[in-house]
Structure 1
Amino acid sequence: MTPLDKIRNFSIIAHIDHGKSTLADRLIQTTGGLTEREMSSQVLDNMDIEKERGITIKAQTVRLNWKGHVLNLMDTPGHVDFAYEVSRSLAACEGALLVVDAAQGVEAQTLANVYQSIEHDHEIIPVINKIDLPAAEPEMVRKEIEDVIGLDASNAVMTSAKSGIGIEEVLDAVIERIPAPKGDLGAPLKAMLVDSWYDPYLGVVILVRVIDGKIVKGQSIKFMAAGTTHLIDRVGAFTPKIETLADLGPGEIGFITAQIKDVAQARVGDTITDSKKPTAEALPGFKEVQPVVFCGLFPVDAADFDKLRESISKLRLNDASFSFEMESSAALGFGFRCGFLGLLHLEIIQERLIREYDLDLITTAPSVVYKLVLSHTKNEDAKTIELHNPADMPDINRIQSIEEPWIEATIYAPDEYLGPILKLCQDRRGIQKNLTYVGGRAQLTYELPLNEVVFDFYDRLKSMSKGYASFDYHQIGHREGDLVKMSILVNEEPVDALSMIVHRGTAETRGRGMVERLKDLIPRHLFKIPIQAAIGGKVIARETIAAMRKDVTAKCYGGDATRKRKLLDKQKKGKLKMREYGSVSIPQEAFIAALRMGDEN
């Protein structure tokens, strides 16, 4: 057990791509955690997607030894979708390294996580990274940290994680400036469950930060929020190799395994205590993680449905924060309705299914969770329900009001791109709250409906600003809106997979865009096909795919015009009959294209 005054627990806060994982690599290398031969780039990012995109998806921890001290480093995700996991990781530390790119300066994500860190009363050490880049302006960034965040950056550590400059100074600063943890060895066990993941050999591995008491092998522990009891069979720490320990005392961060088979039982933020001598109260801050964005995942080939079910179940072993349930669609067959923490989370799960399990998928348009207030009927009272799938919307006459989730977004962008960004937010029903300048960059605060953001807001923002804008958001609750369900009808038959909930003001533009696109995507048949966008019984947009023509009068040469007329009338009757009984086959590519471009006006 390490004495409290020799322990330092810290995390690294940074925007995506500011060099957080590279800095972690250098710290591991400098303290001798891994030899030169064992090193690989981004040691703590163990998924291919993490390495390719340069993002951290799962929190990782590593124990470093430096000048007689034990330093516990938490590498946290930087993206807004994983904000709750970040808050728990920060709660397990006493300080943080704020890593800012010397060329890019402070960005939106950095701000969100720094404020969380300040709320936890952390000692924050500014680290200005990438100082050897030609475009680096460390002095300007130092001033920006002071102006924007309000932190004293006069003693910021200058580093280049790639070149190895300033790494020892960072380690020394951690020992000198971050306080040692507090804790009582004699008190009943109280530990925080920081993260959990599934290992095929060990079962569920649980990352813990001990507050009071100690954890030993063979101890019977209880998860206070889940209410389950388990027996510990292994205690250890990552250096970053697995190292087995006799115990974990106050202030220490390590891992335990307890023959748990399901990650859903080990929920992030739960309090772990001794089942025989429990602590009086649980740690504050625990909450159930709720999915925010929902979409349908369907296999392109219906025969792959069982494979998709198996793959999703395996992924769920490692990520308890996404939910799924079976659904069927007349157009797309059998699939799953899945809930995600946000758009990046959706993209990651989708990409992992395609890569790791070799699946071809169709993803329906993402939707958010709406709250519907239904009027009372003869059989039941008025009630509020949650709607995840636009296809399940009840009869319009029963709905008293619809509430949609809203977010507060912070956007950072260079001044020259401000005009188009303001227009984009305005078009998406945004309410401007604030506009300030930091150096040559604008900081925008907008309230926006989440429904308008889930489609392609982020892509548009990035392309408008040539990639320079950064975007961060948090939810601010539900608000009532004039929302309607827009159905798409092909040959007067509704296509459930294409129905969506839209604001009445933008419904016509959305509907027109969708039917025009489908007209180009659906192949011509031998009969006329109307494509309509409708709200209830009212059609708001229509396009018609012309029928393929066969020249039935080719065999008429000369003679009376009535012979031709007779043949054409006969063909017309045949076309009507065919339209009545013929079914329109919509190719999968048309669905994929229509859904992918779901929001281009």
Structure 2
Amino acid sequence: MRRNDIRNIVIIAHVDHGKTTMVDCLLKQSGQFRDSQLQGERILDSNDLERERGITILSKNIAIEYKGVKINLIDTPGHADFGGEVERVVRMADGALVLMDAAEGPMPQTRFVLSKALEVGVKPIVVINKIDRPDARCNEVVEEALMLLCDLGGEHFMDHFDVIFASGRSGYATLDWNKPGDNMVPLLDMMLETIPGPDVEPDAPLQLLVTNLDWSDYVGRIAIGRIQSGTLRKGQNVDVAKEDKVVPCQVQNLQMFDKLGRVDVEDAKAGDIVAVVGLENIEIGDTICNRGEVNPLPRLRVDEPTLEMIFSINTSPLAGRDGKYVTTRQLKARLEKELERNVALRVRPVEGSEAFAVRGRGVLHLSVLIETMRREGYEMSISKPRVVLKEVDGVLHEPYEVLNVEVPTDKMGPVMEMVGNRRGKIEEMTPRGEYTLLRFSIPARGLIGLRTRMLNATQGTAIIHHRFSGYQPLEADLPRRANGVLISMVPGKAIPYALFALQERSELFVAPGDDVYEGMIVGENARDNDLVVNPTKEKKLTNVRASGSDENIILKPPRQLFLEAALEYVEDDELVEVTPNVIRLRKINLRESDRRRQSKSPGELAVS
């Protein structure tokens, strides 16, 4: 039977196509909230990193009432690096709002998230958003959406293809893009009319697949998922079916989503999305069943990670000055805690050391984890990212990505040259007004460090997106960093007189007064070799002065290396030192004699 009093809907789209703004608009127009609850924009982007970067990182559940029907809305990330979030939560939904920008149309992540939705049988509604853009092309985007649906095997939705036009920022939806509306009522009505309620078996034994986890300092882990069949009650004795065993537990508390939060309930029925408290060591992918009636659902699987970094404690001479957590034990505990919620992450100890190999979907996926940890007070050393290889029939294969670059037509040359040097192959070139949309197939190794260089070469005008496409035979080596670095030979504080002499042949990473130590990277050399320098050298003082002999010291501002740029910049024999207050670059071997003994050699690739 189907429940008509509830709708479970996931909102999916490419990054920056307006998902979170659309949810904000639906919240504000539902009339269930006080103004004090809805202050500011992007209400659901509550995480500091989400607000700073303007992207959604974690999926979130809310519930609104409309015409007597409870609508559970699930906001998801749009960036490919957080695809693990999408793959999990789409299983809780019966329908999906697939947002597409009225100018950009379907983008790489749109294809990815729509394919995941169709795999689990979710009914899509295509929402053409941002129709008030001056460069909007609504009719063409509708045709592109139809073609995408056919490509992904959604032909059975063509007879009742549902499309609506909207502007999340202006707060309206309309069935005719030439006639702007006043509110979101047409979209809410379409959600009730075209998306079915959950198909449930209320009298069957209990089945609940855990698709998300929350954490409370008071009650520990909180399991979140949709009840597929049966009824779940507060205080009920249940069996939790794990991957290799069954664990008896008791439900201490049961909650359902209501508006922006959760409320305690005594019981919940099939089709409800609930949060369950009291199940020890519950994990994503486990199935909650009646005691003695274990019938687990297919375990949740997500795509494997493609990138690896080595995390270790900070061993520089300045270690322990900024952070609260500086030991291997603390680092290990934090990474294990992250594994509980981050299903796309993998962690394994590195043999013969106290370091950990951490695998994720991409540089952004891992850099968000690093940034979160440094804000919590951790100090770490991070290695250069390296791709994860697979051996297929005795041949090494590496991950490949589809790279989409939207760039002004007159700046296409540097983009083509840069991608070509990294063994990228052009697959499609589409003119779009003053811009051209380029699509490449490129090894994932070639993407490391590409974004920063491409933005510099195009004066920040390139829009870059990429997503994983599959594994192909390993290509030859890619070109390394073109420039060497300046390495400090002594500890101390950087002196303006010394930096003034160095800046003529380099670009500096440190400012006067910054702490430096032996083996720390203080700048980029103009040539391709590393250079050992003394950034603490002071001018010798004499009692002789002559007109014109004293130079006026004018220093260029140092280059600010943010976390992702630093991770993409380093080579195999270098590390990124991350502390709560500072990001530094350093050599693995701090002493020059040790570096000479162990000359630079290409780093090993991780083989899964």
Q: TM-score, structure 2 length as denominator?
A: 0.68
Residue 413 of structure 1: which of 406, 416, 430 is its match? 406
Counterpart CA distance in 2 for 1:258 and 1:475 is 40
Q: In 1, Cα distance between the equivalents of 2:115 and 2:250? A: 37
Question: Are 2:245 and 1:222 aligned?
Answer: no
Deviations 1:435-487, CA, capped at 9 Å, x for gaps: 2538557665544332222x2123344555645534232252363455xxxxx
In the alignment, residue 158 of structure 1 is paired with which amino acid? F
1:298-377 to 2 correspondences below 5 Å: 298-299=313-314, 300=316, 301-303=318-320, 307-309=325-327, 310=330, 313-314=333-334, 316-320=336-340, 321=342, 322-324=345-347, 336-357=356-377, 359=378, 361-370=380-389
Residue 351 (structure 1) shift: 1.2
> Residues 302-354 of structure 1: CA distance to partner in whole angstroms, max 9, x if unpaired?
33687144366346435533455666999xxx765433332112111111122
Q: 2:443 aligns with which of 449, 464, 468?
A: 449
Cα distance, 1:286–1:323 mapped onto 2, change above 3 Å: closer
Q: Distance in 2 between matches of 1:234 and 1:291?
A: 38
| CA distance, structure 1, for counterparts of residue 137 and residue 439 of structure 2 | 26
Name 1:517's counterpart in structure 2. Answer: 485
Deviation by residue 1:382-413 (Cα, 9 ceiling, x = unmatched): xx9xxxxxxxxxxxxxxxx8835222314152
Q: Per the alignment, in what secondary structure is the counterpart of residue 476 of structure 1? A: strand
Q: Secondary structure at the match of 1:256?
A: strand
Q: 423, 426, 450: which is aligned to 1:429?
A: 423
User: 1:535: which partner in 2?
Assistant: none
The letter of the residue matching 1:256 is V
Q: Is the helix fraction higher in 1 or 2?
A: 1
In the TM superposition, 1:562-601 aligns within 5 A as 592=585
> Once the 2 structures are TM-superposed, how far is the Cα of residue 87 of structure 1 from its aligned partner?
1.9
The alpha carbon displacement at 1:123 in A equals 2.1
Using the TM superposition, give the Cα deviation of residue 208 of structure 1 relative to its aligned residue in structure 2, in angstroms: 0.6
1:26 equivalent in alignment to 2:18: no
Question: Which residues of structure 2 form unaligned runs of 5+?
Answer: 151-156, 174-183, 492-518, 520-527, 538-574, 589-599, 601-608
Distance change >3 Å, CA 184–CA 324, structure 1 → 2: closer
The answer on whether the counterparts of 1:19 and 1:129 sit within 8 Å (CA) in structure 2 is yes
| Cα distance, 1:37 vs structure 2 | 1.4
Sequence identity of aligned pairs in percent? 23
The reply on whether 1:168 has 2:185 as its aligned counterpart is yes
**By how many angstroms is 1:175 displaced?**
0.4
Give the aligned residue type for 1:423: E
Counterpart selection for 1:270 from 286, 306, 315? 286
CA distance in 1, matches of 2:306, 2:399: 15
CA spacing shift, 1:78–1:172, aligned 2, 3 Å: same
Q: 1:233 — aligned with what?
A: 252
Cα deviation digits, residues 492-544 of structure 1 (max 9, x gap)? xxxxxxxxxxx2x63xx54xx46x3246x6579xxxxxx9xxxxxxxxx8667
Q: How many residues align?
A: 481
CA contact (8 A) 2:406 2:462 kept: yes
1:545 and 1:197 map into 2 onto residues whose CA distance is 49
Which of 268, 276, 292 is matched with 1:248 structurally?
Answer: 268
Do the aligned partners of 1:112 and 1:472 also contact (CA within 8 Å) in 2?
no
Aligned to 2:12: 13
Letter in 2 for 1:368: V
Q: What residue number does 1:381 align with?
A: none
SS of the residue aligned with 2:117?
helix
Aligned-pair CA distance for 1:248: 2.3
Give the 3-state SS of the residue equivalent to 1:118 in structure 2. Answer: helix
State the Cα distance separating 1:140 from its structure 2 match: 4.8
Correspondence for 2:165: 158
Residue 247 to residue 335, structure 1, CA distance change in 2 (3 Å) = same
Task: Report SS of the residue matched to 1:111.
Answer: helix
Once the two structures are superposed, residues 219-254 of structure 1 have per-residue CA deviations (whole angstroms, 9 ceiling, x without a partner) of 313134263422211211222221112222222212
Over the residues paired in the alignment, what is the CA RMSD in angstroms?
4.0
Paired with 2:226 and 2:576, the residues of 1 have a C-alpha distance of 53
Give the CA deviation at 1:172.
1.0
Equivalent position SS for 2:172: coil
Contact 1:461 1:469 in 2 (8 A): no
> Aligned pair in 2 of structure 1 residues 237, 431: CA closer, same or farther (>3 Å)?
same
Per the TM alignment, residue 297 of structure 1 is displaced from its structure 2 partner at its CA by: 4.5
Question: What SS does the corresponding residue of 2:325 show, helix, strand or coil?
Answer: helix
* Structure 1 Cα separation of the partners of residues 324 and 376 of structure 2: 16
Counterparts of 2:277 and 2:533, CA distance in 1: 65
1:208 to 225, 228, 253: 225
Q: Give, as a single letter, the amino acid of the residue that structure 2 aligns with 1:219.
A: N
Q: Are 2:193 and 1:199 aligned?
A: no
CA pair 423-5 structure 1, distance change in 2 beyond 3 A: same
Q: Which residue of 1 aligns with 2:466?
A: 472
Would the alpha carbon gap of residues 208 and 161 (structure 1) be closer, same or farther in structure 2, given more than 3 Å must change?
A: same
Equivalent position of 1:395 in the other structure: none
Q: Which amino acid aligns with 1:157?
A: I
Q: 8 Å contact 2:2–2:197 — kept in the other structure?
A: no
Question: Are the equivalent residues in 1 in contact too, given 2:490–2:534 (CA < 8 A)?
Answer: no
**Cross-structure match for 2:115:** 115
Say whether the 8 Å CA contact 2:382–2:576 is kept in structure 1.
no
CA distance in structure 2 between the aligned counterparts of 1:69 and 1:587, rounded to whole angstroms: 52
Q: CA deviation at 1:55?
A: 1.6
SS of structure 1 residue aligned to 2:223: strand
1:505-544 → structure 2 map (5 Å cutoff)? 506=479, 510=481, 513=482, 516-518=484-486
> Per the alignment, in what secondary structure is the counterpart of residue 307 of structure 1?
coil
* Aligned position for 2:513: none
1:179-218: CA deviation from partner (whole Å, max 9, x where unpaired): 2221211222222212112221231111111112222222
For 2:122 and 2:348, locate their aligned partners in 1 and report how far apart those are by CA, in whole Å: 40
User: What is the alpha-carbon distance in structure 2 between the residues aligned to residue 587 and residue 288 of structure 1?
Assistant: 28
Equivalent residue, structure 1, for 2:565: none
Question: Cα offset for 1:277?
Answer: 0.9
Query: In structure 2, what residue type is equivalent to 1:351?
Result: E
Question: Bigger shift: 48-57 or 214-223?
Answer: 214-223
C-alpha separation in 2, matches of 1:463 and 1:37: 42
1:491 corresponding residue in structure 2: none
The answer to whether 1:282 aligns with 2:297 is yes
* Aligned-partner SS, 2:38: coil
Q: What is the CA-CA distance between 1:149 and the residue it aligns to?
A: 5.0
Instruction: State which drifts further: 406-415 or 18-27.
Output: 406-415
Q: Distance in 2 between matches of 1:50 and 1:590?
A: 20
Distance change >3 Å, CA 424–CA 116, structure 1 → 2: farther
